[in-house]
Amino acid sequence: MAVVEYTGVSSLKGPILVVEGVKGASYDELVEIESSGKSRVGKVIMLEEDRAVIQVFEGTADLDLPNTKVRFLGKPLEMGLSSDMLGRVFDGLGRPRDGLGELISKEKRDINGSPINPVSRVYPRNFIQTGVSAIDGMMTLIRGQKLPIFSGDGLPHNELAVQISRQATIKEGEFLVVFAAIGLRHTDAEFILSSFEETGAMKNIVAFLNLASDPVVERIATPRVALTTAEYFAFDLGYHVLVIMSDMTNYCEALREISNYRGEIPSRKGYPGYMYSDLATIYERAGIIRGKEGSVTQLPILTMPNDDITHPIPDLTGYITEGQIVLSRDLHMKGIYPPINVLSSLSRLMKDGVGEGYTREDHPHLASQLFASYSRVQDVRALASIIGEEELTEIDKAYMKFGEDFERKFLSQGVDENRSVEETLDLGWEVLKDLPKEELTRVSKDEMEKYMKGAIS
């Protein structure tokens, strides 16, 4: 349809702009806003008779009421896609940012995507080896899964994300990383990109950067732009795509800011009531589709405000994603890398992707045993802090030793250390040797005999 242009707007407030006298605009439509020769983009978020409410992605700074021009483009926010995107760096709206010129796109897609029909999905069950023992052993990542990292400010989540994407191997197929920086500090984005460059992984990565200094509203679009790209590479070109999105907390902050400008009734801590549904339209874009070769696996990163896992951002995320990898400040202070708190971490898809035919037969039982024993360690430690370690029973002392070994030997590893899943499992049996055999109720006798060499009885 024809592009309609209006000059003059009736209201400007934060990133929200209102135009009156509009005819024929459609809900969710893309608009172009022009003022003093500069153009920016926005979308229609509410329509009322002849009034259109528009959210401007680059903010409304410097706009005025009489001279601002608004053009309705008659289509939703779309992005161009092409296989040439590999190795390139784009901004938060998908425009080249690396100075290597415009992209010649073959495809245009609505960045909002569409929900995958549950009957068209394939249930994910193929394991991705990350080379990180805590993850492979205790919260296995599965191809097509969405498994976020719940972190805190100052914790090494970026290091871990880089390590995972560098080491992640799958048995077959082409592998690709899509990286979306959402309101990230310049240094963090730089660290991540340069780590990829150093290892020569850059040719297998597409990056979208919305940095802390970039417009806040643009953050609403960045994960969607990244996922549209991921879906294109996965379902059109057959790649196995790992999407890293950091930091989803900034995304939610942007959502709250806009909701506030719109005068909506807030839910918990001022976040909008639809945040769950909104986050779901991002996280649910992971998966495998029947009859298509590729897959989209998501590894979103979020920093928990004040390390609080019950804060609405991690809370709503945890309800949508298929588990979570939780980083712990205590372990970090103890000098353990990666500081993964295995007890509060979980991979929901692990149950169907490990064991015989996937990793190794003993894996599910061993993992369950490690969880149960390490959980007991917490009780023993709490007790020891009150009555003193000396006063503990022999069994409790064994648990203390197991706890140390589990953290120092099993959890802990170098940022470049890439362990095979067999090595990880053997290590698990190794640390279980600290405990008397009667305590190991979750593994079978046969497994103990087969995998646990030289254990105390």
Residues 35-54 that bind another protein (CB under 8 A): 46-50
Q: Which of residues 46-105 bind another protein (CB under 8 A)?
A: 46-50, 76
Distance of alpha carbon 321 from alpha carbon 9, whole angstroms: 41
Q: Taking CB under 8 A as the rule, does residue 456 contact another protein?
A: no
Q: How far apart are the first and last CA of the chain?
A: 79
Question: Of the listed pieces 216-224, 236-244, 259-267, 426-434, which binds another protein according to CB under 8 A?
Answer: 259-267
Q: CB of residue 177 vs another protein: minimum separation in angstroms?
A: 21
66: Cα separation from own chain's centroid:
42
Does residue 446 belong to the site contacting another protein (CB under 8 A)? no
Q: Under the criterion CB under 8 A, does residue 198 sit at the interface with another protein?
A: no
Q: How far from 409 is each of 115, 210, 405, CA to CA, in Å?
A: 43, 38, 5
Whether the CB-CB separation of 234 and 173 falls below 8 Å is answered with: no
Report the alpha-carbon distance of residue 219 to residue 168 in Å, rounded: 27
Beta strand pairing call for 205-211 and 69-72: unpaired
Q: Are strands 89-91 and 205-211 parallel, antiparallel or unpaired?
A: parallel
Is residue 145 within 8 Å of 349, Cβ to Cβ?
Answer: yes
Q: Does the protein bind another protein through residue 175 (CB under 8 A)?
A: no
| Residues contacting another protein: total by CB under 8 A | 86
| Part in contact with another protein (CB under 8 A); list of ranges 206-214, 293-301, 374-382, 416-424 | 374-382
* Alpha-carbon separation of residue 330 from 327, 338, 376, 379, 404 (angstroms): 9, 12, 17, 16, 13
Report in angstroms how near the CB of residue 62 gets to another protein at its nearest. 28
49: left (phi over 0), alpha (psi -120 to 50) or beta: left
Of 189-197, 281-289, 329-337, 427-435: span binding another protein (CB under 8 A): 281-289
Residues 114-173 that bind another protein (CB under 8 A): 114-124, 144-145
Select the residue interacting with another protein from 8, 174, 274, 361 (CB under 8 A): 274
Binding mask 313-352 for another protein (x = CB under 8 A): --xx-xxx-xxx------------------xx-x-xx-xx
Q: Does 183 help bind another protein (rule: CB under 8 A)?
A: no
Out of 88, 219, 311, 419, name the contact with another protein by CB under 8 A. 311
Contact pick of 82, 105, 112, 167 for another protein (by CB under 8 A): 112
The mark string for 379-418 relative to another protein (x by CB under 8 A, - otherwise) is: x--xx--xx---xxx--x----------------------
CA separation, residue 437 to residues 373, 394, 398, 410, 441 (Å): 12, 14, 11, 19, 8
Q: Restricting to residues 208-247, name those near another protein by CB under 8 A.
A: 235
* Residue whose CB is less far from another protein, 104 or 265: 265
Closest to another protein by CB, 303 vs 324, is 324
* SS3 of residue 365 by DSSP: helix
Give the Cα separation of 170 and 129 in Å (integer).
7
